Amino acid sequence: MLCMLLVQLPHLATAADASLKLTPEEQAWLKAHPTLRVAVLGHLAPYDFITGHKQMGFSIDFVKLISQQLGSKIEYINSSSHKAYRALLKDRKADLLAHIIPTKATDPYTLYSPPYTQQGDALVVRRNDTFFSTTEDLYGRKLAVRHHSGREALLKQSHPSIQRIVVKSVQEGLERVAQGEADAYWDANGPIVWHLRTNMVQGLRIAGHSGLTTPDQTQIRLGIRSDEPILQTLVTKAMARLDKVELAKLYDKWSGLPLPQSQKGPLALSQAEQRYLLSKQSITMCVDPDWMPYEAIDAKGRHIGMAAEYIQLLSQRIHTPIEVVPTKSWTESLEVGKRRGCDIFSLLNKTEERTKFLNFTAPYVEAPSVLVTRDDQPFVNGLGDMRGRKLSVPKGYVYEEKLRRYHPEIQLVTVSSVREGLSRVSQGEVFAHLGSLYVVVNQIQRSAFSNLKISGTTQYGHQLAVGVRNDDPTLLRILSSAVDSITAQEHIRIRRTWTATKFEHTSYDDLLVKVLVMSAVIILGVFLWNRKLNRLNRQIRDSEDRYRTLLQTVPDAVVVHHEGQIDFVNETMVKLIKGPDQQQMLGSSIEKLCQVDDESQLKQLCANDPSNDGSIPLLELQLLCNNQESLPVEAKSRAIQWGGKPATLTVFRDISERIRTRRDLLLAKREADKASQAKSHFLAAMSHDIRTPMNAIIGMADILKHSPLNDEQKHHVEVLNRAGEGLLALINEILDLSKIESNQLVLDRIPYALPALIRETIHIMAYQAEEKGLILEIHHDENLPTWLWGDHQRIRQILLNFLSNAVKFTDRGLITVHVEPHRDKEQVQIRVQDSGVGIPREMLAHIFDPFQQLEEQTSMRAGGTGLGLTICRQLVERMDGKIGVDSQVGQGSTFWFTLPLDEAPAPRANMEPQAQQLTDGSPQQQTVQPMRVLLADDSLDNQILMRAYFKRSIHSLVVVDDGGQAVEQFKHGGIDMVLMDIQMPILNGHQATRLIRTWERENRLPPTPIIALTANAMKEDAEKALASGCDMHLTKPIKRGDLMEAIESWQQR
């Protein structure tokens, strides 16, 4: 018999769990396959890895639990790479993959189990790096990823602008970041945390979630052979029957890996909340250092008491350490919290003052408040008997705020601690002390106050909760869930530990006398109180009847509720939700009726704090109607008394129409933004495509202009040059107007010399005026400051427009520029007065509107788009100035504008380049050395033009057709400067510049000047060029003199 039993033991050990309820086919499959072949990688901690020739890891332990359910043995098959690992199912050499994340691509060889953990996504950077906040911050940076991990392909396909550094292991990726070879390492949360903890890599931190993956890309499952669907069913049944306690132990064992949603316990944190805690690492906490038995800081600096045990529970629940911020008193703790010096308070009452800097979880400790007097004083019937008497309370405690607001008749004495308050009562300095029952009993025992007694209670009981800084809603949600998860058994254990009261040195007879006296007083008090209570109840019922009648007649929907249950609804509410009659709604849940976004909204909706004065903000939420539709409403709550008990009155107002209007406006704005963006892109593209050939046209005209030509040829070249400049001015005006209308125009604020700016601008127009025989004059008030703050380029643009129009429309006479203080003395006015044709009165009101010109004959003579004055008006208004015109036909016009008189300090000798230019107009002359310049440009016309530019210079030019050739040519050496076009094949200018800068750093070479020479004229184009590593951005078309000046200015640096 014993032998038969021994023979049967192996079969008993491998039998499947009977609770799985297997079908005959499933039982037959298990009998035919007693061993499960499980594929593992062996090098992916903490999921599966090998230590001392032993398979270990979270996935290994999870597969063991599955095999125990199925009664199967396990044979592990190690693979050398991810590719070989997945091929094991295809080749039928394995039955299961220990861990796999399904991809979007169809895999005909693999079936999947339900998810058994979530692979959180994490990004590791150096400790002091702060560049990362969004996915876009990774563009152009070096990101290390594991080979064949799936992330490599995702970056290549969806984020090609991120530079990939492929590594063989997690450890290598972390080391690359630590050594500065990569900006960040991207991998699963589990392996990263495991390696940071076990390998002690220094100088790194987890920056948070990368934003590169979606939730469906993070669920880890078992992979199953596609030709074995019965095995998939068996695994699914086994996973459903796993013991939750065993699972919890497994997750705790392997560093708190995240549970899938289907397996989470009562504290089910979202992925966002888990990422928050991962990046937070620890939570700081303020406490009351002397408030036993609730809490205190002992002589060794430890947090002790009831709150300390609760906080330890919460810390375990969220797998995050909670650290105490040391303070000397409760008042100091409150001040630290107001300054955001700590994340939470361990336990405190909610008050209106504290809600200015804290949010609160649900209360987790409740206790009555009591009045303590000397034992030779009579018992007191609450705070009503304290009128005119001195009452001590600790400074900063909740009682202080409530007593000052609701009981000004009491003489309040604030003390530094409970002990000081009781001491003052004992010595007769104050009549009573107000405090928590548990706290005063504990303090009386510890301090041996033999002449004190508890004389009565008050209505201000303690509702103690965790206080969370109100700028951190995620932490509030996490701790609220943790507080709600505390079990009744845990509450009982902690409270029994810290509220058990011991009375010593009291004889039995003394105690009996005290009990009898107290009982007699209590009975007499109850009798008197009941008489008073009956009278008050009658008054309350009469008042409530009138209140109900009033609430039934108001046009808004009204609900009265208490502790989450509805006590009253009016007819308007019933109609609003198309619901049952009023009686059927009574007793139902306000939470089911109102669909709130978060728990804090529900708490505000149900507020019944007697200190609430109606200042709770309006809430927007959804009401669940009887037809299961949601109705958007606006809700306002305030605390009231209803049926003699505290309750909440909430008024709801239908805002469906407002929501629809808001949505329509938002859609309209989005469409307008799209149209504006499309227009901007079109104009930028148009500008680029026109500027590219214009560069050759204007450049060649500039070269011809300085060539030996006869008069007729010079005239032809001048016509060509004017036509090109006119077209360029048209492009610039259209771009300026586009920037202004799309709110993309950014004004500079730098010091500029106003007299120099005026002289320089007039000098530009002097040649045209002289050709027409016109006289230009300046009248400048010498009392004006020389240096002002502003955008001198835009001011010059406005003044040039005024002067250009004056020259165009004036055939003879005088043009005068007046610069003088405006009459309000806080602005400067600049006027351009001419003796030209003048403007008809009916045109003056529209002269600054877009596309407005004078009559056809005059406008044809002058040319232009009619945009110049519109742009001037927009620029002046953005500078907080005003613009206007005065004119009479046949007598001339006066255009004027004002600017803030914002005086700036005169720059020193090392002044900004703009200020230096506006001072003397001539750069310092230095000896120019020959340079070897590399030009990268795919346009043959521009190459020909640049060769012509350099032909008459001392510099030599090397020309390549694209960015790739530019990089290779640069590496050969001998290049003193690079002129880089941006839009090129193979590699664009930005990419080529980054590669050149990287090569220089790797070879420890000084940076070579790189000038972006491009037809992209927008401000953001210049910023992108500088960000990629260029030193200067020049916009095509560019003349030879301007280019040579830019090149030589860099040589002089």
Tens digit of each residue's pLDDT (9 = 90 or more) over 1000-1019: 999 999 999 999 988 776 77
Q: Is residue 532 part of a domain?
A: no
Query: d(Cα 413, Cα 512) in Å, to the nearest integer?
Result: 34
- Number of neighbours of residue 909 by Cβ within 10 angstroms: 5
Residues 835 and 892 in one domain: yes
Percent over 70 (pLDDT), the chain: 77
For residue 11, pLDDT over 80 is answered with no
Query: d(Cα 964, Cα 368) in Å, to the nearest integer?
Result: 79
Tens digit of each residue's pLDDT (9 = 90 or more) over 348-395: 988 888 999 999 999 988 878 888 999 888 878 788 788 889 999 988
For residue 235, pLDDT over 90 is answered with yes
Residues 6+ apart with CB under 8 A from 669: none
Region 305-325: mean pLDDT is 89
Q: Is residue 539 part of a domain?
A: no
pLDDT at residue number 203: 80
- Picking from 930, 953, 941, 964, the residue whose alpha carbon sits closest to that of residue 1036 is 941
Cβ atoms of 493 and 618 within 8 Å: the answer is: no
Residues 6+ apart with CB under 8 A from 449: 422, 423, 426, 443
Residues 282 and 428 in one domain: yes
Comparison of pLDDT for 428 and 562, the residue scoring more: 428
Residues 6+ apart with CB under 8 A from 583: none
Residues 312 and 353 in one domain: yes
Residues 69 and 172 in one domain: no
Backbone φ, ψ for residue 338 (5° rounding): -65, -30
Tens digit of each residue's pLDDT (9 = 90 or more) over 923-961: 444 567 889 999 999 888 888 888 988 988 899 999 999
Tokens representing residue 748 in the block: 């500079």
Tens digit of each residue's pLDDT (9 = 90 or more) over 576-616: 777 777 677 777 777 777 766 566 666 667 765 544 444 56
Residues 730 and 830 in one domain: no
What's the DSSP call for residue 903? B
Q: Is residue 778 part of a domain?
A: yes
CATH number for the domain including 335? 3.40.190.10
Query: d(Cα 1008, Cα 442) in Å, to the nearest integer?
Result: 76
Confidence of residue 679 (pLDDT cuts 50, 70, 90): low
Q: Is residue 506 part of a domain?
A: no
Query: Based on the structure, what is the number of domains in the chain?
Result: 6
Tens digit of each residue's pLDDT (9 = 90 or more) over 84-120: 888 898 899 999 999 888 876 657 889 999 888 866 6
Q: Is residue 200 part of a domain?
A: yes
Cβ atoms of 438 and 365 within 8 Å: the answer is: no
Residues 358 and 449 in one domain: yes
pLDDT at residue number 846: 82
Query: d(Cα 1009, Cα 993) in Å, to the nearest integer?
Result: 11
The conformational region for residue 948 under phi > 0 = left, psi -120 to 50 = alpha, else beta, is: alpha
Residues 708 and 758 in one domain: no
359: helix, coil or strand? strand
CATH number for the domain including 622? 3.30.450.20
Residues 756 and 815 in one domain: yes
Residues 6+ apart with CB under 8 A from 1005: 999
Region 841-853: mean pLDDT is 76
Identity of the amino acid at 358: L
Q: Please report where in the chains the tokens 């509720």 appear, as a residue.
A: 561
Tens digit of each residue's pLDDT (9 = 90 or more) over 961-983: 999 999 999 999 899 999 999 98
Tokens representing residue 768 in the block: 């045209």
H or E element in which residue 481 lies: helix 473-484
Q: Is residue 957 part of a domain?
A: yes
Comparison of pLDDT for 735 and 65, the residue scoring more: 65
Cβ atoms of 1015 and 691 within 8 Å: the answer is: yes
pLDDT at residue number 642: 75
Query: d(Cα 780, Cα 105) in Å, to the nearest integer?
Result: 75
Kindly give the residue spans of alpha helices, DSSP state H, lying in 319-467: 330-338, 398-406, 418-426, 437-447
Q: Is residue 519 part of a domain?
A: no
Question: pTM of the predicted model, to two decimals?
Answer: 0.37
- Picking from 276, 291, 234, the residue whose alpha carbon sits closest to that of residue 69 is 234
Residues 132 and 47 in one domain: no
Residues 459 and 582 in one domain: no
CATH number for the domain including 803? 3.30.565.10
Q: Where are the beta strands (DSSP E) in 892-998?
A: 892-900, 932-936, 956-960, 977-980
pLDDT at residue number 145: 93
**Burial track 746-761 (b if 16+ CB lie within 10 A, e otherwise):** eeeebbbbbebbbebb
pLDDT at residue number 252: 64
Tens digit of each residue's pLDDT (9 = 90 or more) over 494-549: 876 776 443 333 334 444 444 544 555 555 455 555 555 555 665 655 566 666 66
Cβ atoms of 789 and 748 within 8 Å: the answer is: no
User: Which of 456, 481, 499 is a domain's end point?
Assistant: 499
Residues 85 and 155 in one domain: no
Q: Please report where in the chains the tokens 């620029």 appear, as a residue.
A: 875
Region 746-753: mean pLDDT is 86
Residues 227 and 299 in one domain: no
Q: Is residue 488 part of a domain?
A: yes
The residue range of the domain holding 212 is 120-217
Query: d(Cα 565, Cα 562) in Å, to the nearest integer?
Result: 5
> Which one of 547-556, 566-575, 613-622, 836-845 scores highest in mean pLDDT?
836-845
Mean pLDDT of the chain: 80
Tokens representing residue 905 in the block: 């300090």
Cβ atoms of 410 and 456 within 8 Å: the answer is: no
